[in-house]
Amino acid sequence: MVDREAWLGSRLAVDDLAVGAIGAGLLAAAELAQARGFGDPAVELSAEHAALSFVSERHLLIDGRPGGPGFAPLSRLVRCREGWARTHGNYPHHAAALARALGLGDAPTPETLAAAASQLCSRDLEARVIEHGGCAAALRSAEEWATHPAGQAVAAEPLVAWGAMPDGAPLATVAASARPSRPARGVRVLDLTRVIAGPVAGRTLAAFGATVLRVDPPGLPEIAAQHADTGAGKLTTVLDLADDRVREELLRGADAVLIGYRPGALSRFGLGEAHLAERHPHLVQVRLAAWGHSGPWSGRRGFDSLVQVGSGIAASLCADDGTPGALPAQALDHATGHLMAAAALRGLARRARGEPAAAARLSLARTAGALLGARLPADPLTDATGAADPDRFRVAFGGLSLIGPPGRLDGEPLRWAHGPCPLGADPAAWPPRA
């Protein structure tokens, strides 16, 4: 650890979460380096850099200007007739579902949303939006979440849940150019994720040297700034997963797969955990859900902001006037993304030792539980004690400026081989191993 201050600051241990999650990935990368015969690389991490990485999207610059608008107008906290709720409309199809559910018409605005919410109890608003295929969460205290069936199911899951152990399969031959600071060099990772958490996992693995291919379905929109922030170091293609030949060829050639869609959403393509392990036992599987992998909400759509509201985090950070609070970063997304990368690296290390590697399951809601349950000092630092300097940790690719990957291995800073490619710019095929 190079420094230790509250760079983010919160009544919850967000700075500790950032250091712990990123540190887990660095230690797992060192384990992979050892397993591949590269010795025992030293691990370093700046808490300032970790904090900046957790808000990397705020520091994205395109030609010197901020790269994105943040949350869309319909993604917001709303006061209901009874209680509060959070809605999500960053993607057009979710905004349309929200408008249908609440009768907002063809041109919904924050004002019409607020008016509709004021006529409903928060739980009713949540139920209506979910029923129409949208995304929302009613405000719950940590105590209410703990007694809810979905909350109880999530609490019973480990922070990283490991599945059944498949037969072992050796990792691909070590690339001649691999070294302790790039222990995943020559490893192929199929990135079937979207939004923030899963893409953060992919960009982290790319910083350790992996060849990461992100696959998006045709016709599903992506937020350009979000992709720019999380796409560094990756290849990106568009593929209908119903194309059996290409999909199976990608799976056969991969060493690990990140799956960030709702549990069961990709089962029709043979991408359920058991079926995938049966066909491709060599794959290290890492799976992400918003609301856990069991219980009544496991198939529900969710985002960091919604999980904060539904799991008790927002209630625990309420202002004096009762307005729900928020973490100083989308910390559930970023932390879970780094923990996904750590799980993938540990699975790859097992394979490098000739051992089987079980599938790993993580969720935003379980990370939220870990944050709520973390021990705090008697007088926690609710405000940042130092002003983090993003310019110390920037990397540039042409006119694009990003917060670089946090951490050092074997004395070398992590790095991405290239900046983000335009979404879908690459063929749906693996390049030769590096």
Per-residue burial over 201-233, b = 16 or more CB atoms within 10 Å of its CB, e = otherwise:
bbbbbbbbbbbbbbbbeeeeebbebbbbbbbbb
Regarding pTM above 0.85, the answer is yes
pLDDT, tens only, 133-175: 999 999 999 999 999 999 999 999 999 999 877 665 666 554 5
Q: What tokens appear for 97 in the block?
A: 């579902």
Segment 282-294, tens digit of pLDDT: 999 999 999 999 9
Condensed to tens digits (0 to 9), the pLDDT of residues 120-134 reads 999 999 999 999 999
Q: Please give the average per-residue pLDDT across 188-192, as a whole number.
A: 98
Q: How many CB atoms lie within 10 A of CB 5?
A: 15
CA atoms within 13 A on the CB side of 380: 15
Share of the chain above pLDDT 90, in %: 81
pLDDT at position 2 is 47
Percent of the chain scored above 70 by pLDDT? 93
* Other Cβ atoms closer than 10 A to 197: 30
Closest CA to 44 of 378, 371, 410: 410
Lowest mean pLDDT among 76-80, 311-315, 318-322: 318-322
* Cα distance between residue 299 and residue 262, in whole Å: 6
**pLDDT of residue 433 exceeding 70:** yes
pLDDT at 376: 62
Give the chain's domains with CATH numbers: 14-57+155-294+328-413 (3.40.50.10540)
- Averaged over 259-273, what is the pLDDT? 91
Model pLDDT, residue 177? 53
